[in-house]
Structure 1
Amino acid sequence: MHKNGLTTEILHSDRKQSVEHGAVHKPMHPSSQYIYEDARELAAVFQGKAGYTYSRQGTPTTGALEAKITLMEDGVGSVSFASGMAAITAVLTTLLKRGDHLVSSKYVFGNTSSLLGTLADLGIEISFVDATDIDQVRAALRPNTRMVFAETIANPGTQIADLKGMGELCREHGVVYMVDNTMTSPSLFRPREVGASLVMNSLSKYIAGHGHALGGSITDTGLYDWSDYPNIAEPYRKGQPTGWGLLQIKKKGLRDMGGTLAAEPAHRIAIGAETLALRMERHCSNALALARFLQAHRGVAKVHYPGLAGHAQHARATELFGGRYGGLMGIELAEGIDCFDFMNRLRIVLLATHLGDTRSLALPAAHTIYYEMGPERRRQMGIVDSFIRLSVGIEDQADLIHDFDQALQASMPR
């Protein structure tokens, strides 16, 4: 039987759910409340029946987006949030308790690392390890380990964790395995294929794609048996265990904490997702061409990009991501080039904090997103002062290369 591809499924996802008035897209539902003619039905929705009550816990608009994300990640269900950080926070604070232990890649995004520090202050034990080495992950496991967490491509150093090995290890020990799929997106990689229990996406990045909406999501892949997880509260142990984890995340993360995705950004993200695969092809081809150019340029000391043969995890990235390596890149400038002067000479590339935009973006990592960590932690993570994070967009390739070349030529010592 023929199976449709990802883009076809996303494009026709809404209309398969009987969209109002024959519309192609699920419309925005900005109402904060939903009424019922029958009080028994209202009570039933509060007690678990499908439906909507108060928009803090979701709307038909976020529901349509969640259906798309679930389809994209080949999961059993998804919950959306106001941002990627809200999504991660919801998982960690609703599934972990004081005295629990989490093993995390030490290369995680700076804000995620800061959040884990906050959780440590609240009594959750955190171990940071080099997740590219499965032996370090294995050695960090303890009897109270509840979860292992990693990103597909580390931001900004582009390290690739041993995602497959971690999945096997978590399955062997009955540990929840959460993967942040933001830097690859479901177009390049599905963490379910390596045994992930939960998949996080910052929808603000490649899935939305145009730098015009914030959002995050958590998808349950259906691979973890929540009946074995000790931290599921009794009210959420209803029906099939497959849904217990996601139900607790939704109830506590949305109802109790309020990190709700509004209808307007949800609508924008859902429409942006339609061209994800097309955009990712261009992001990847542009990034690979630019990485090869910069690697040969005398103004650049080092290029961090998984598509280059010299990258420490190039073979692993090729196996996991099918020969496409994403749009995230890091470069270290040659000695004598001031990173600020160089960046100020870029004409096409935007100086911005975002990632996954259609436009190429640049950021001085040591002076911005990793500034709070201090020099010692930056040294441990390989973030030198001249390190520039690049999010390669979908501009014409020749224009991008020319922009970097002219900026480097003008910045080199005479």
Structure 2
Amino acid sequence: MSDQSYSEGLTTRILHADRRAGAEHGAVHKPMHSSSQYAFEDAQSLTAVFQGQPGFSYARQGTPTTAWLERKLTLMENAQGSVVFSTGMAALAALFTTLLKAGDHVVASQNIFGNTNSLFGTLRQLGVEVTLVDATDARNLEAALQDNTRLLFVETIANPGTQVADLIKIGELAKAHQLLYVVDSTLTTPWLLQGRDINASLVVHSLSKHIAGQAQALGGVVIDTGCFDWEAYDNILPTYRQGNPAQWGLTQIRKKGLRDMGATLAAEPAHRISLGAETMALRLARGCDNAMALAQMLEVHPGVQSVAYPGLASHAQHERATTLFGGRYGTLLSFVIKPELDCLDVLNRLKIAILATHLGDTRTLCLPAALTIYHEMGPAMRAQMGISDNLIRVSVGIEDEQDLLRDFSNALEN
């Protein structure tokens, strides 16, 4: 097959990216640079970096290690550029606070991560309007648009209800109205979905989850897909309206989010994330298969009232998820046990699954969502999101399938 007709797969490109970029001394991995400051041969070179030329001056704005991770993440999303941050929430906070101003309006999914919902509360205090709607139908977002709407925000798969947003039609809506379309793709990763395919403007990942794996590093990223015209976006400051317009958005996010706010990813976790990305597809494939098997078992178990997993035919967005994600449905599921069972007792009987908060680990993790990560929301908001007191969230790992099924079955039956 000729080079013109052949494109390497995602994992092949990630595995060989360091070596092909010329890692020092023939190494197959780029080294970790831990220095917080960088020296220059002459004053002209120093001033050039401060005035926008490529280079490193102080680690708060980036290091060779974070720069290489950014290039790898851009490659994974087939995108235009990336900026990494200390956590996924830092990435979201930097994006919203640097690209929005008082008086702007955001339309977002009502089925979002609890901390993101809390962040929207902070934005409201800063004068940004936020309207939450059911994002499984793009018409709900269209109905909520106002003259001051600047940004649409959704998660690809909601946590913990697993609702799948109307991603393609929301992208069409954003394009028609010249709105920023921001997608949190943490639960799908570039392996299941790339932002360009749904016309997303910016894609956010919590790198702490599937991309890094193994729960050993925190990190986040904002990725520019190249689908948005930054010249048409009024909130880009005059200082950053220089050079290539395609870079304006990320430049403002980097300068304000890293230089001014200091939400910097350190070299060591950046290096761990870069290495972890190499096995992302392998871990996800195994986790998705395990999640499907566990969801199917739970759906017919007499102690279970309902199961939410996009891979099940009973899921409201099953067909959409199949089209978007190519027949894999992620590793997150949730299930509601019947009222006669005690949620905490069931969790306490698990022997393999770990009682912990996190997602995308190699180990299976469980928690009672209403009593933990969504406790601050209160019962009214939880009811709106469909989070009952007996709902258990499961992030499925890569254990042997039969061991996992036996563990949940025993916990429900004893």
- What is the TM-score with the length of structure 1 in the denominator? 0.98
- Corresponding position of 1:329: 333
Compute the displacement of 1:55 (Å): 0.2
Distance 2:161 2:26 in 1: 46
Root-mean-square deviation (CA, aligned residues, Å) is 0.6
- Corresponding position of 1:124: 128
- Corresponding position of 1:52: 56
- Corresponding position of 1:215: 219
1:339 aligns with 2:335: no
Distance 2:25 2:50 in 1: 28
1:111 aligns with 2:142: no
1:72 aligns with 2:68: no
* 2:9 pairs with one of 5, 9, 31: 5
* 1:141 pairs with one of 134, 140, 145: 145
Distance 2:219 2:336 in 1: 31
Compute the displacement of 1:373 (Å): 0.6
Map 1:149-164 to 2 at 5 A.
149-164=153-168
Distance 2:19 2:267 in 1: 18
Distance 1:50 1:332 in 2: 52
- Corresponding position of 1:291: 295
- Corresponding position of 2:384: 380
Compute the displacement of 1:386 (Å): 0.5
* 2:188 pairs with one of 157, 162, 184: 184
Which runs of 5 or more structure 2 residues have no equivalent in the other structure? none
* Residue aligned with 1:71, SS: helix
Compute the displacement of 1:21 (Å): 2.0
- 1:183 aligned partner, one-letter code: L
1:371 aligns with 2:359: no
Encode CA deviations 1:132-188: one digit per residue, 9 max, x unaligned: 011110001111111000000000000011000000000000000000000001111
1:351 aligns with 2:358: no
Encode CA deviations 1:97-144: one digit per residue, 9 max, x unaligned: 000001100001000000001100110010101000111100011111
Distance 1:178 1:14 in 2: 29
1:194 aligns with 2:198: yes
Compute the displacement of 1:335 (Å): 1.8
- Corresponding position of 2:45: 41
Encode CA deviations 1:364-401: one digit per residue, 9 max, x unaligned: 00000100011111111111001010000000000000
1:248 aligns with 2:252: yes
- Corresponding position of 1:311: 315
Compute the displacement of 1:221 (Å): 0.5
* 2:28 pairs with one of 24, 30, 40: 24
Distance 1:335 1:385 in 2: 10
Distance 1:348 1:23 in 2: 38
1:407 aligns with 2:394: no
Distance 2:64 2:26 in 1: 15
Encode CA deviations 1:49-90: one digit per residue, 9 max, x unaligned: 111110000101111111111011111100000000000000
- 1:298 aligned partner, one-letter code: P
Distance 2:379 2:347 in 1: 22
Distance 2:361 2:121 in 1: 29
Distance 1:97 1:18 in 2: 42
Moved over 3 A (4+): none
Compute the displacement of 1:47 (Å): 1.0
* Residue aligned with 1:372, SS: helix
Compute the displacement of 1:334 (Å): 1.2
Distance 2:68 2:20 in 1: 10
Compute the displacement of 1:363 (Å): 0.8
Distance 2:303 2:392 in 1: 13
* Residue aligned with 1:302, SS: strand
* Residue aligned with 1:153, SS: coil
Distance 1:166 1:93 in 2: 22
Compute the displacement of 1:42 (Å): 1.1
Distance 1:16 1:52 in 2: 22
* Residue aligned with 1:12, SS: helix
* Residue aligned with 2:367, SS: strand
- 2:75 aligned partner, one-letter code: L
* 1:282 pairs with one of 263, 279, 286: 286
Which runs of 5 or more structure 1 residues have no equivalent in the other structure? none
Distance 1:180 1:101 in 2: 18
Percent sequence identity over aligned pairs: 61
* Residue aligned with 2:108, SS: strand
* 1:85 pairs with one of 82, 89, 93: 89
- What is the TM-score with the length of structure 2 in the denominator? 0.98
- 1:13 aligned partner, one-letter code: A
* Residue aligned with 1:242, SS: helix
Compute the displacement of 1:14 (Å): 1.2
Distance 1:79 1:25 in 2: 20
- 2:261 aligned partner, one-letter code: M
Distance 1:174 1:216 in 2: 26
Compute the displacement of 1:16 (Å): 2.3
Distance 1:46 1:16 in 2: 29
Compute the displacement of 1:191 (Å): 1.8
